[in-house]
């Protein structure tokens, strides 16, 4: 169902009809007038400011009865948003019924504007439809692999969490934003670890992080795993990046305020501070240093 283009709003709607329309996308094949009437429900009334919620996986919208939109559009505070099959707000390019839309970092759909994205200029009409298909492949919404539900954690992972919490309490505080916390984690690992050509026996990142925190040393996987752990305790999602040329180097891709950045804490003999780098910075450095940061961009969400 595409965002409606025109239509007037009814002043009153039946709650059941509203929730059905928002929860089941295929039932949204109604007139623009009816759809806009349903959308107006979330723009007024008590508790609207408390409707947006966030957890470790992203933002979602909660209706008064506790339900939430899934795989559908929703208009809130005058802007259109789209939610995936799990109910989380999406960003970036999406395709709906053969039409492409672009959702900003805030989740709001672009419309009535022109914008250059990945080197190509696109126009978005009043409905949000893009003037053409995006040149780059659509990137899936990626949830951080370091965000694991408590009930799914092993005993070793829980022990590592306690060690990490002790560290985080010393190097961060509540006044710091996500970027500052990530930088504090980076500085702590760089200042506390020594590189040793150690190969993890399991390549299980929680176990490797636990062992690395005990010995304060390890190889690139140890650095990656420790960053994964500490960032998770700061509420910062991140995913694993593997060098594409030989699959023999690991680093993190971290999500800071809705944007992804490269985060490699492993030290190099030539020096360098690879904290919150963009794709362009990584590729430029890699080209000058024997492909040290080569990666397959099709496998990861793009950076700014």
Give pLDDT tens digits for 60-104. Answer: 899 988 899 998 999 988 999 999 888 899 998 888 877 889 999
Q: How far apart are the first and last CA of the chain?
A: 29
Task: Report pLDDT for 16.
Answer: 34
251-265 pLDDT, tens digit each = 999 999 989 999 999
Task: Report pLDDT for 217.
Answer: 92
Task: Report pLDDT for 40.
Answer: 34
Q: How far is CA 299 from the centre of its chain?
A: 14
Task: Report pLDDT for 135.
Answer: 56
- Helix ranges, the chain (H): 15-23, 32-39, 155-171, 178-192, 205-215, 220-233, 279-288
CB 58 within 8 A of CB 89: yes
Q: How far is CA 232 from the centre of its chain?
A: 13
How far is Cα 208 from Cα 203, in angstroms, rounded to an integer? 7
List the one residue out of 229, 213, 208, 223 whose CA is nearest residue 145. 229
How far is Cα 88 from Cα 82, in angstroms, rounded to an integer? 8
As given in the structure block, the two tokens for residue 223 are 């650095």
DSSP conformation class of 116: E
If you compute the radius of gyration of the chain from its CA atoms, what whole number of angstroms results? 22
Task: Report pLDDT for 77.
Answer: 87
As given in the structure block, the two tokens for residue 272 are 């360098």
Task: Report pLDDT for 119.
Answer: 73
Q: Which residues of the chain, if any, have pLDDT below 70?
A: 1-50, 133, 135-144, 198-202
């Amino acid at each position: 169902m595409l965002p409606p283009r025109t239509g007037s709003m009814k002043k009153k709607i039946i709650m059941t009809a509203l929730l059905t329309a928002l929860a089941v996308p295929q039932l949204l094949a109604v007139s623009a007038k009816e759809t806009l009437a349903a959308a107006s429900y979330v723009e007024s009334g008590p508790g609207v400011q408390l409707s947006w919620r966030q957890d470790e996986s992203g933002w979602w919208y909660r209706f008064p009865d506790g339900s939430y939109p899934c795989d559908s559009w929703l208009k809130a505070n005058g802007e259109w948003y789209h939610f995936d099959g799990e109910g989380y707000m999406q960003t970036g390019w999406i395709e709906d019924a053969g039409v492409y839309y672009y959702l900003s970092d805030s989740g709001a759909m672009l419309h009535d504007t022109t914008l250059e994205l990945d080197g190509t200029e696109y126009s978005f009409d009043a409905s949000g439809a893009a003037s053409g298909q995006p040149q780059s492949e659509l990137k899936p919404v990626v949830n951080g692999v370091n965000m694991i539900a408590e009930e799914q954690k092993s005993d070793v992972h829980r022990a590592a969490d306690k060690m990490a919490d002790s560290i985080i309490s010393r190097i961060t505080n509540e006044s710091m934003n996500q970027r500052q916390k990530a930088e504090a984690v980076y500085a702590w690992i760089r200042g506390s670890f020594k590189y040793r050509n150690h190969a993890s026996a399991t390549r299980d990142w929680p176990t490797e992080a636990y062992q690395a925190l005990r010995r304060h040393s390890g190889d690139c996987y140890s650095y990656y795993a420790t960053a994964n752990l500490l960032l998770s305790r700061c509420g910062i999602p991140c995913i694993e990046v593997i060098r594409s040329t030989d699959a023999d180097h690991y680093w993190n891709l971290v999500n800071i305020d809705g944007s992804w950045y490269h985060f490699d804490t492993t030290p190099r003999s030539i020096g360098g501070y690879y904290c919150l780098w963009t794709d362009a910075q990584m590729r430029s450095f890699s080209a000058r240093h024997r492909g040290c940061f080569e990666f397959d961009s099709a496998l990861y969400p793009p950076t700014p």
